[in-house]
Amino acid sequence: MPLVDFTVETGATQVWPGTHLDNRSYPDGVNNYDEWAAATPSALTTIPVGSLVLRDMRMWHRGMPNRTETIRTMLAVVYNRLFYDFKRKLDIPGPVWQQMSKEAQEVFRYNSIISSGA
């Protein structure tokens, strides 16, 4: 959910529709991300403030440069299935974990609980 308008000037999100269905890292004959991005059809998504965007996290995407003084802010909520190894897990300090309610611990149960000492 964008908290400001996402325009070409403020940094629209570039997406590659259908890439969430492709298991290859890059199309055949392409050796790096820039080549891949240039060789694959994409779209720039401009999104008005307050809109809701739903997308599959596996779809290739990237934020484009913000060419203004306005900070491009968004609110993101991510849901994923347990079998999908989502890489953005949290490291929750043990003392913080101990202070969390049982309900909160249930929500964050698949994240790493780390000790505060070395």
Q: How does pLDDT run across 39-80, given as a tens digit for each residue?
A: 788 999 999 998 998 888 778 888 899 999 988 888 888 777
pTM for this model (two decimals): 0.61
**Residue predicted with more confidence, 20 or 42:** 42
Is the distance from CB of 44 to CB of 13 less than 8 angstroms?
Answer: yes
| pLDDT at 60 (0 to 100) | 85
Residue where the block lists tokens 């999104």: 47
Of 60, 67, 72, 66, the C-alpha closest to 34 is 60
pLDDT digits (tens, 9 = 90+) for 67-114: 999 888 888 887 776 666 666 678 899 999 999 999 989 888 888 888
What secondary structure does DSSP assign to 44-101, as a single string?
EE-B-TT------TTS-EEEPP--SSS---B-------TTS--S---EEEHHHHHHS-
Across the range 23-38, mean pLDDT stands at 70
Query: To the nearest whole percent, how much of the chain has pLDDT over 70?
Result: 82
The band of 4, judged by pLDDT with boundaries at 50, 70 and 90, is: very high
In a 3-state reduction of DSSP, which class is residue 25? Answer: coil
